[in-house]
Structure formats: C-alpha cells, structure tokens
Chains A and B, each alone.
Chain A
C-alpha cells in the first residue's frame, strides 16, 4: 500500500456544506438583527429613570432585615458555639479577663483531667532544663 502523502494525494475538500439558499438569506437576517439592536439607543432616558427606581427598590429591600430583625436579637438567641468563636477569634478579650468573669464552679467545670500523675510531671520537669520557664508561666 502506498504511503499517504498530502502533496501527492488529490486535493481533499473539507466536506462541509451549508443549507441551500443559506448565503442568499444571511445578509438580510444579519441586517435585521442589527436594526433591532439600534433603536435601543433612543430609550436612554426611560432606562435611566428605570434604573433609579430599581436602585430605590434595592435599597428598600436591603434595609428590611435591619428594621425587622436586628433590633430584636438578644444574647439568648445566639448559640454558644458562635459566641465562643467570636470571643476567641474576633475580639480582644484576653484569657485573664475571661477567667475573671467566671466563678469558681464554672472554672472547675472547665478543667480537664489529663490523667497525668504528679510524679510524672515532676520527672518531666526535672529532665527538662527549661522547666523554670514552665513553672513561672
């Protein structure tokens, strides 16, 4: 079998065809479309008024939540996790200020038993040359 070569092979056409009369009708279709798009320019003023109205409605719509809900939100409605996240990431309240706000029982309830024996702690501290820093902290 001969090797295929584009140069020696008779010209291959793309095979693409268009519908009959396609090119007879296309100019009118396009000119019509262009004409349809042009008159829009004449309506600039009415569109402008419309955009003011749209802006006014938008402002009203956006302010509805302020009038209705914001005023009524109280601390009880916010769930604890949200509050906690806010305090730890968004505010400047320090650890000490938080501790001062709690009473003895609340602090006790928060403490976690790590299950480490006193002796173990002592051993770690003794073997660590920087233990003084841990004690003072």
Chain B
C-alpha cells in the first residue's frame, strides 16, 4: 500500500513521471492485453485499444482519485474503452454487439495470433453468447484468474453479485458445450 502511494507520487511528479509511467506500462501491458483481447477478440483491435488506454491513463493521471487502487482504475478504463470500441464497431456494421462478437470468433480460425483448438473456439463462442456483465465476470475470473475482490473493485459490483453472475455464466456455458 505504501509502495503504491509512493509510485503514484512518482507518476504525478514531472521529474519522475516518464520513468514511472514506463514501469506502469511494463507492469500492466500483459494483463491488460488479455483483458482487452477477451472483449474485442482480434489482435489488431486489441493493440489499438491498449495503446489508447495507456494514453488515456497518462492524460488522466492528475484526475486519479486515490480512493481506488491504481490497478482497478486502469482496468476500469480498459473495460470501458473495450466495450465502447465493440459497440461502435457493431453499430457501424448495423448488427448487435453479440452478433459482432460471434463473427469475430468465426474469424479467429484464420487469425494468426490465435492458437486455440476446437474446444477453445467453442468456449469462446459460448462466452460471447452471455450477457455483457456475465462475459466480463467470466473472462476475469476464469481466464485472467482475478480474485472476486479485485473484480468487485473494477466493476463496482458486490462480491455476492459477482459470484451469482459467475455461477450463471458457468451454467450457461456448460449447457452450450453439452448441446453438441
């Protein structure tokens, strides 16, 4: 906790800012990549959104309220940016964001940066059929292995609510996987 306070001070001070921000990128780039990728699905879009997220984080550092952890604040920005991104893409194509995600998953078979087999593809399809909130919770819990407490800080939902969402998500996914 003390470390985090010190680190945020460095991020805000003009002299130490650049060095501290480089550390922030290095610490966050992999988990954020996975998080964004689980929502926008292809690598190129993930790259665009990820770069925008870091630039947004940098520009808004001075507005960062220390009430929440840096980790959850950055994750929250990434979540919002990713959802906005796919909603805009879906709107441009005149389809729902769920239909858009299904199309993107069909394209994954040909994508260079996806090495999943049939069951991985099927699982992605099942996840994309879930309501938005359940998708987020499932991705963060199952694939990214975040703790409920961490997800709760990012999404602003109670741990109890998240457990219920995850339970429903797992149930629907298993039904889908068993349906053949």
Contact = CB atoms under 8 A, between A and B. Distances in A.
Interface of A: 3-6, 12-19, 22-23, 26-27, 29-31, 33-34, 37
Contact of B43 (A5, A18, A29, A37): A18
Contact of B29 (A13, A26, A34, A37): A26
Nearest to A37: B55
B173 A14 contact: no
Contacts of B51: 26, 29-30, 33
A111 B169 CA distance: 74
Nearest to B108: A15
B64 interface: no
A34 B121 CA distance: 36
B161 interface: no
A15 B26 contact: no
B37 A4 contact: no
Interface string B67-99: 000000000000000000000000000000000
B33 interface: yes
Nearest to B112: A19
B34 A31 contact: no
Contacts of B178: 3-4
B141 to A, nearest CB: 11
Interface string B13-45: 000001001100110011001100110000100
Given A6-B170, A29-B51, A16 B113 contact: yes
B116 A19 contact: no
A18 B33 contact: yes
B25 A4 contact: no
B143 A27 contact: no
Given A4-B178, A14-B116, A23-B29, A30 B55 contact: yes
Interface in B133-180: 142-143, 170, 173-174, 177-178
A13 B47 CA distance: 20
Contacts of A16: 34, 37-38, 43, 113-114, 116
